Amino acid sequence: MSTLTLTAPSTTRPRYRLSTKGVLHAEWTKFWSLRSSWITLAVSLFLLVAFGVIAAITYDPAITTAEGPPGQQAASDAVGVILTGATFASLAIGVLGVLMSAGEYTTGSIRSTLAAIPSRLPVLWSKATVFGAIALVATTIGAFAAFALGNPQLNGQDIALSLTDDGVVRSLLGAGLYLGLVGILGVALGALLRSSAGAITVLAGVLLIVPGLTSLLPDSWSDTISPYLPSNAGSAVMSLTQSSDSLGPWTGLAVFAGWVAIALAAAAYRLVRSDA
């Protein structure tokens, strides 16, 4: 005689592990689902293109650096004039990077994110990768658009160039690389400080204020320190020609990438060591 044994169904749910591809897709979706993201990105491109075109239209070789608009007459070639808007675009791109990471701490949604991804670090790497790639592609397109629209305005000027001239393509691609790294720097600062206002303040200080303050130092100190500051080093890759006291294009980009890596490492350390 056989005995029928009834087994209760298991109530244990299978564990799901979010893959790297899944984390990247989640950050991509989060970025584009926020209206502020693509609006701020569009503003960044507008600043890059519009200021470049305006600088080209208003360019006058007879005006001295002190008399002209800030940054315009300091350039000695068409690329320098047309990429005038890169300074303003860098701030907008950096702010967007800050909001992408610090914004989750402000709203408290970071707790849900880290609950889904307990290992934590993939969240930071994915944010940096996704936004860095978006900023790189968008601003590279913007740099070439600024050149296409602004260069015809300089026809007949001594500084006029064409896309096929030596260094022009490298400078335009360099603008995208620099601005892409600025975006990653913003992500890192936002994750490190966990405050949008604080991270934006630090970002603006590093990119805009600190380089100006070095001029108050003795000349020997200023000449030594200034080329290695983040914005000065990174923007060297956008310059068609380098002065004797500046870094080479790829050396400068490498130095700036080092600054970004330090900020990311600090953000990663805090993410692992402290609660959200």
Query: For 167, left (φ over 0), alpha (ψ -120 to 50), or beta?
Result: left
181 within 8 A of 257, measured Cβ to Cβ: yes
Mean pLDDT of 81-92: 93
Point out the least confidently predicted range of 91-100, 162-171, 236-245, 260-269: 236-245
Point out the least confidently predicted range of 64-68, 110-114, 214-218: 64-68
Which backbone phi and psi does 157 adopt, to 5 degrees?
Answer: -85, 155
Asked if the model's pLDDT at residue 268 lies above 90, the reply is: yes
Residue 103 lies in a domain: yes
Q: How high is the pLDDT of residue 16?
A: 52
Q: State the helix-helix crossing angle for 249-273 and 121-150, rounded to 10 degrees.
A: 150
Residue 255 lies in a domain: yes
C-alpha to C-alpha distance for 131 and 148, rounded to whole angstroms: 25
DSSP state of 276: -
Asked if the model's pLDDT at residue 73 lies above 70, the reply is: no
Residue 30 lies in a domain: yes
Q: What are the residue ranges of helices labelled H in 58-158?
A: 78-82, 86-107, 110-116, 121-150
C-alpha to C-alpha distance for 150 and 141, rounded to whole angstroms: 14
Q: How high is the pLDDT of residue 42?
A: 94
Instruction: Look up tokens 């960044």; give the residue.
Output: 44
Point out the least confidently predicted range of 7-21, 128-142, 158-172: 7-21
Q: How high is the pLDDT of residue 143?
A: 95
C-alpha to C-alpha distance for 191 and 4, rounded to whole angstroms: 59
In the chain, % of residues over pLDDT 70: 88
Q: 3-state DSSP call for residue 163?
A: coil
Closest residue by Cα to residue 73 from 84, 85, 65, 83: 65
Residue 11 lies in a domain: no
Mean pLDDT of 174-199: 95
**Contacts with 137 (C-beta within 8 Å, 6 or more apart), sequence order:** 176
Instruction: Give the mean pLDDT of the chain.
Output: 86
Neighbours of 123 (CB within 10 A): 21
Query: In the structure, how many helices (H) and strands (E) does the chain have?
Result: 12, 0
CB-based contacts of 198-205 (< 8 A; 24+ apart in sequence): 199/98, 199/102, 200/94, 200/95, 200/98, 203/91, 203/94, 203/95, 203/98, 204/91
Instruction: Categorize the per-residue pLDDT at 17 as very low, low, confident or very high, splitting at 50, 70 and 90.
Output: low
Neighbours of 18 (CB within 10 A): 14
Residue 48 lies in a domain: yes
How many domains, in total, are found in the chain?
A: 1
Residue 14 lies in a domain: no
Residue 64 lies in a domain: yes
Residue 50 lies in a domain: yes
Asked if the model's pLDDT at residue 71 lies above 50, the reply is: no
Q: 3-state DSSP call for residue 271?
A: helix
C-alpha to C-alpha distance for 117 and 113, rounded to whole angstroms: 6
- Domain assignment of residue 182, given as a range: 20-273
